[in-house]
Amino acid sequence: MEDSLNYLSLENGNQKKSIVLSIKKFLIDDRFHKFYGNINKKVLS
What pLDDT band is residue 37 in, cutting at 50, 70 and 90? confident
Task: Tell me what the mean pLDDT of segment 2-11 comes to.
Answer: 77
**Is the model more confident about 21 or about 2?**
21
Q: How confident is the model over 7-32, as pLDDT tens digits?
A: 777 888 888 899 899 999 999 999 98
pLDDT for 24: 92
pLDDT for 1: 58
How many beta carbons lie within 10 A of that of residue 2, not counting itself? 6
- State how far Cα 13 lies from the chain centre: 15
pLDDT for 45: 64
Predicted TM-score of the model (pTM): 0.51
- Coil, helix or strand at residue 1: coil
